[in-house]
Structure 1
Amino acid sequence: MAKATILLVEDEAPQRALLHQMLQDEGYEVVEAGSAEQALECLQQQRFDLVLSDWKLPGANGMELFRNLQSQCPEVAFVMVSAYGTIARAVDAVRAGADDYLAKPFTREAVLLSVERSLRARRLEDENRRLNQALSERDRLVDMIGRAPGMQRLYRQLEKVAGTEATVLLCGESGTGKELAARALHTLSARNAGPFVAVNCAAIPTGLAEAEFFGACKGAYSGSDRDRPGYFQMAQQGTLFLDEIAELAPDLQAKLLRAIQDKKIRRIGGNQEENVEVRLVAATHRNLEDEVAAGRFREDLFYRLNVLQLQLPPLRERKEDIPLLADHFLDLFAKRHGITKPRLPTEARRRLLDHPWPGNVRQLANAVERAVLLSEDGQVTPSDLPELPAASQAIHFKLDPQGIQWEAFEKEALSQALELAGGNRSRAARLLDLPYKAFLYRLEKHGISGQAR
């Protein structure tokens, strides 16, 4: 297990250097601050596992720093260091919630024991919190939003496969809730006390992808001043969710395949392999078999991922769930924005039911949030909803027995998608399930204009 990162707050340079060396020799990463003010700046810039602070500091004292820490970073452990004359104050800090205190003069063993004990206590608290959260979420899974037959079938499948260690591939259109399904798998599994790490493969810069996945050693590249864990290390003993798996570059696909097969990885700049113990869940809105046939996705990786494939139905195939989802989002966003939950009258409800929802549940959530913010007099009106063309206005196509002129058809499809999206190119590309760059290329080819993203 990687050693913790400690913020050392001490105004006396010799004492600070002594403590720094003690902790560093034990393998901890140490950041120094000479005052409470400097410490608070550090806490805003970096995540720490523990703060080791003297009580007597220039300006604000250690107790004031602890109170700030409690309000801003309550998950961070705190150990107070105190001279003989201020031990009573250090004890007060412990009574107020600090993890431990050290009396000067101290021994190396006392310092390391206090730090280790405090970190261990926090880890146990975090584990208990995750267990309680997992149990709470497990209780709610039975009542997940969606009564349509397709969703009920999905729930049964999730419960059945969650208890296995098999890799799962979640397939469905964008916005259907693939990450939610992955979280459900994690919550129902024996790994639910471990971390759930979600990764959007489409959002990782190509040059950083290997370091992001497998980690990097100190000095592996410019600006790398310490060892950095990758997604596999972060998900150790838990679940690693790889969304939009089809967007991975071919060279990274090969490295991912090896990590899955061997359950070992090697950090950039490292010469030793590390064992990884994670459950892998992948997701895509593309047809991976088509991607394999086109040479864009490795066939061997596809078979590794496609052990258990679950399909998430689009919202247009479960219209009966729209009122349930809308009511859930009304409640959620009203609480989030501190607004009284508005009513959803029949006319507004009908507008929601009539829409084809190409963006699925995510698009519905955005529409309801907008309505909550714009609503007046305690109810949502149709004008509070974004422009929602009815399903009858969606793009329909029937192939003529005599064939078609493809270029004309493509141009018409692009034009209709732009019209449905109100001229927004990014939304229109999603309607046609085209990558944004490919959509722009086709617009330029046909001389069609539209708004930017």
Structure 2
Amino acid sequence: MRLLLVEDDKDQRQLLAELLTDYDLVLAASVAEAQPHLGKVDMVLSDWKLGDGDGLMLLRAAQRLSQGPAFVMMTAYGTISHAVEAMRQGADDYLSKPFSRQELALTLEKVGRAQKLRQDNQRLSQALTDQNKLTEIIGQAPAMQQLQSRLARISDTDATVLIEGESGTGKELAARALHQLSRRAQKPFVAINCGAIPEALAESELFGSDKGAFTGATQAKAGKFEAASSGTLFLDEIGELPLVLQSKLLRVLQEGKVTRLGEHQERSIDVRIIAATNRDLKAEVQAGRFREDLYYRLNVVPLVLPPLRERKDDIPALCRHFLALYARRHGLSQPELSPALVGRLLSHHWPGNVRELANRMERLVLLGEDMPIAAVTPGNGDFTVSLPPGGLDWEAFERHCLDKALALNGGNKRQTARYLNLGYKALLYRLEKHGL
């Protein structure tokens, strides 16, 4: 257990330090010296009278921390009122000077046991909170219940997971839930969109680069694998990764080592891999656009997120969740869902899935209205548009559709062009026209 001893008398501080050899000890002579250590220790043993203040100042500072240390106050002989005040303010115990070695040991042992119990309770509470994070993946549809069960079962393993599903179904949310419920939860969660980084920079982004490895590399840089050390690396849109990098990624996964661009030194890594894609990777393998060996290396545990149109019974619950979320976020009142609006939402095809629904609920909170959007049914090109009776601002509508399509495709312009069935240059023209 780590203990912070705060005593302004040098001789007293040294004497107490000699009695506390069983603890990982931090010494301080003043309030100013002690304060930076409050969040890094399990217990504080502080004198009441200090050169730049008193022990109560430290006690209050410790209590402002989310997980503050236990606190024992030392008071001078005849100042029992100080001890009473310290206990009233929340100290765990006190010692009245002079005290014996045995009194010191018994008091600290008792307070240490109580602190350990508090920490165990906090860890249990945090574990329950982490379990409740699965409730953010809302849905009672059979596919969603199966997903929640599988997430809970595999989260605390190091198994590689491949999450498949259309854009906007919540693949990153599922990946974050896997991380938050795992033993790696306190370590980094690093996400990278493989389709959003230029091909020329993809290798250095993933694996890192040495100084001078390419034009503009003015210093050595760690890649995403190293940044996610001991944590989780989320490779979103893995199907967009170029073939040449697929082979290098496969080698890293097989050997557990990375080599920075421009270096020969191999660096061992401890990273859990979660990949996601909105493509049919089996079809990509057959078409020669994705390595078969990499596919099987990634697809150890498959998770499939259903599109929203296949679980429309979940739409009312999702709407209530997002309305409450955005009302809190923006400090506004939560709108009511009218039967007419629910009916329109249930009849919509939801090409943008849950992300599209979330955007519409945020707009409802902010503007108090649900802007009509074209309901598109893919396959034959037919679609239905609900036009407002008062007319439509076409430029604003086009800008809105472009902005929505960009968001659905993670800002990837080429993917957005394919999604909108537009030429790439035609999309760039429209984006520039609307300042997007």
Interval of TM-score (by shorter of Structure 1 and Structure 2): 0.5 to 0.7
Quick one: distance in 2 between partners of 1:279 and 1:352? 38
CA gap of 1:348–1:190, structure 2 versus 1, over 3 A, is: same
- 180, 190, 210: which one aligns with 2:183: 190
Residue type at the aligned position of 1:342: P
- Does the alignment pair 1:386 with 2:371? yes
- Does the alignment pair 1:265 with 2:250? no
User: 1:155 is matched with which residue?
Assistant: 148
User: 1:333 is matched with which residue?
Assistant: 326
Residue type at the aligned position of 2:415: P
User: 2:415 is matched with which residue?
Assistant: 435
Worse-superposed segment, 129-138 or 349-358 = 129-138
Quick one: distance in 1 between partners of 2:287 and 2:305? 24
Residue type at the aligned position of 1:394: T
Residue deviations 1:232-273 (CA, integer Å, cap 9, x gap): 111111111111000111111111111000000011232211
SS at match of 1:165: coil
Pairing 1:39-438 to 2, within 5 Å after superposition: 88=52, 136-141=129-134, 144-375=137-368, 384-389=369-374, 394-395=377-378, 397=380, 413=381, 424=401, 435-438=415-418
Determine if contact 2:250/2:294 at 8 Å carries over to the other structure: yes
SS at match of 2:190: strand
Residue type at the aligned position of 2:362: E
Residue deviations 1:74-123 (CA, integer Å, cap 9, x gap): x9xxxxxxxxxxx959x9999968xxxxxxxxxxxxxxxxxxxxxxxxxx
CA gap of 1:187–1:439, structure 2 versus 1, over 3 A, is: closer
SS at match of 2:290: coil
Deviation of 1:134 after TM superposition, in Å, equals 6.1
Equivalent pairs counted in the alignment come to: 322
SS at match of 1:252: helix
Residue type at the aligned position of 1:350: G
Deviation of 1:132 after TM superposition, in Å, equals 7.3
Residue deviations 1:166-211 (CA, integer Å, cap 9, x gap): 2111000000000111112112222223221111111112222111
Deviation of 1:353 after TM superposition, in Å, equals 1.5
Quick one: distance in 2 between partners of 1:164 and 1:240? 14
Sequence identity percentage: 49
User: 1:47 is matched with which residue?
Assistant: none
Quick one: distance in 1 between partners of 2:162 and 2:310? 21
SS at match of 2:273: strand
Quick one: distance in 1 between partners of 2:231 and 2:336? 41
Residue deviations 1:109-151 (CA, integer Å, cap 9, x gap): xxxxxxxxxxxxxxxxxxx999976652223325741111110
Structure 2 unaligned regions, length at least 5:
1-31, 40-50, 63-120, 388-393
Structure 1 unaligned regions, length at least 5:
1-62, 64-69, 76-86, 98-127, 376-383, 398-412
CA gap of 1:92–1:217, structure 2 versus 1, over 3 A, is: farther
User: 2:112 is matched with which residue?
Assistant: none
SS at match of 1:191: coil
Question: TM-score normalized by structure 1?
Answer: 0.60
Quick one: distance in 2 between partners of 1:240 and 1:148? 29
Deviation of 1:435 after TM superposition, in Å, equals 3.3
Deviation of 1:225 after TM superposition, in Å, equals 4.5
Deviation of 1:417 after TM superposition, in Å, equals 9.6
